[in-house]
Amino acid sequence: MATIEECRDALEKLSDNMQDAEGGVREAAALDRSVSCYVTDLDVTFLGRMTDGRMVVDETLPGPPPRKAQIRLTMAGDDMVALVDGELNFAKAWGSGRVRLEASLLDLFRLRKLL
């Protein structure tokens, strides 16, 4: 089982990948949105903001998200690490229910380029 530190590192790596992206992926990463990532097996939520092509985690809180972010991810810690490392396909994980992504329809269309 992934640790809180490994999950935070995975989010930082994702942020770095977004910063280095080009073209349509870079445009999708340029959203200015609040973000939450709830790690179910650790019962912890990372809260932050996606802005200027980066995702910055501001808080790590116990339990499910205390407020509704504009972009919401829910998954197990091992799945988060595997997604960021390229070992788990997002579309398959989302389709099977291993990963949940909730956002506005417009944001979902833009985010598909990232994922």
Q: Each residue of 16-52: pLDDT tens digit?
A: 877 776 666 556 556 899 999 999 999 999 999 988 8
The predicted structure's pLDDT at residue 24: 60
- Identify residue 56 by its one-letter amino acid code: V
- Nearest 5°: the CA angle 58, 36, 70 is 110
Mean pLDDT, range 92-112, rounded to an integer? 89
Q: Using one digit for the tens of pLDDT, what is the confidence trace for 59-78?
A: 999 999 999 999 999 999 99
The predicted structure's pLDDT at residue 81: 97
C-alpha to C-alpha distance for 29 and 15, rounded to whole angstroms: 9
Among residues of the chain, what percentage have pLDDT more than 90? 69
Total residues found in the chain within this entry: 115
